[in-house]
Amino acid sequence: MTFPRSSVGLALAGAVALAAAGCAAGTKPVAYSRMGLLGTLCKITTWGHAERAADAAFERIAEIDERMSANRAASEVSRVNTAAGVAPVAVSADTYSVILEAVAFSRRSEGRFDLTVGPLVKLWGIGTDDARVPSPPEITAALALVGWRDVTLSAADSTVFLRRPGMAIDLGAIAKGYAADEAAAVLAAKGVKTALIDLGGNVLTLGAKPDGSPWRIGLQDPDPSVPRGTHIGIIEFEGSRSVVTSGTYERYFVRDGVRYHHLLDTATGSPMANGLSAVTIFTTRSIIADGYSTLVFASGLERGRALVEATGGEVEALFFTDRFEVNATPGLQGLLKLSDARWQLKGW
């Protein structure tokens, strides 16, 4: 759970927005992009020119990045981590609300999603030039610092306190979703009716396409042996929705023939091994899609299904297994179109 899904230039992580075609004159898609925000390529596509609105949305994303990135020494998250075991730190309403949401996800998952995973993330360094396989004693020491119950929040003064020295929060599993939601709010406030926001694979659609055609979001093949950008199918839908994927192919390194991915198990301290290669979440708010993609992946197929079902249809999911099977929740079965014969759709 770290912002740079990779700090070394990550391609799109899971869902790739497919280009629109056949739009009437004056409503053609116009793409704007910024590299480096949230450690990735951020793209906003509007139907018709909306440069000022896009610039304002990118400024909002940059503000969130500056406050919440664990890789910026002056960020609010870094200040909270530096003060671990020493004193509470006052943070902005932005950061406080995202941390509050991350604590809720941690509680819901009984710690399988844990915002205090920072020591493990730093230890492994996956996605950086310092990636390595830590020793068992190092993993044990880092695991001892992971524990969401030791995060104390005070709404009265908007402070965050990590009770034990060495603890560290990492909002990388949730903050991009929040940034996408905020970018959409900025665009809407500026009068933009239709837009596609893509923050390194965290996709959020705004409104309906002017030509009435559905949104078509391509699904990255989670098989790491195929080139990035290879799609196994698409999701077609209408209206404002978010599509976010967590997968073992996003960031990894190989040592002695073993592939180590970035989704770390807070029980073992090592990359998760639960038979899943990716989970795609489909819902209205991107912060929910972002958090659930990690939470559900960490929970495995059976517990993950139960978590999704408990939302009563608010959250839909695709589970990609190591056996090239796709399990789709009922609400996605009619929207998913597979195009790769290796992958088989399984009933819920």
Nearest alpha-carbon partner for 291 in 37, 63, 1: 1
Question: The pTM is what?
Answer: 0.91
Terminal Cα-to-Cα distance of the chain (whole angstroms): 29
Q: Determine contact, residues 89/115, Cβ cutoff 8 Å.
A: no
Instruction: Give pLDDT, residue 307.
Output: 95
The CATH homologous superfamily for domain 15-64+192-346 is ApbE-like domains (3.10.520.10)
DSSP 200-248: TTEEEEES--TT-PPEEEEEE---TTSPTT-EEEEEEE-SS-EEEEEET
- CATH 3.10.520.10 residue window(s) in the chain: 15-64+192-346
At 135, list the tokens. 């020793």
HSE, CB side, 13 Å, CA atoms: give it for residue 136: 0
Q: Cα–Cα distance between 122 and 71 in angstroms, integer?
A: 10
Report the chain's C-alpha Rg in angstroms: 19
Instruction: Identify whether the C-beta of residue 247 lies closer than 8 Å to the C-beta of residue 222.
Output: yes
Helix (H, G, I), strand (E, B) or coil at 260: strand
pLDDT digits (tens, 9 = 90+) for 274-321: 999 999 999 999 999 999 999 999 999 999 999 999 999 999 999 999
Residue range(s) occupied by CATH 1.10.3980.10 in the chain: 67-162
**Structure token pair of residue 20:** 């629109």
CATH homologous superfamily of 67-162 equals ApbE-like superfamily (1.10.3980.10)
Write out the two tokens for 278.
């990716």
pLDDT at 181: 99
Q: What is the pLDDT of residues 65-96, one digit of tens each?
A: 999 999 999 999 999 999 999 999 999 999 99
What per-residue confidence (pLDDT) applies to 26?
Answer: 54
pLDDT at 234: 96
Q: Which residues pair with 206 in a beta bridge?
A: 195
Which residues of the chain register pLDDT less than 70? 1-26
* Alpha helix stretches (DSSP H) within the chain: 51-68, 76-82, 93-108, 118-124, 136-143, 175-189, 286-309, 330-333
Q: Which two tokens stand for residue 271?
A: 């990359």
Around Cβ 132, how many Cβ atoms within 10 Å?
14
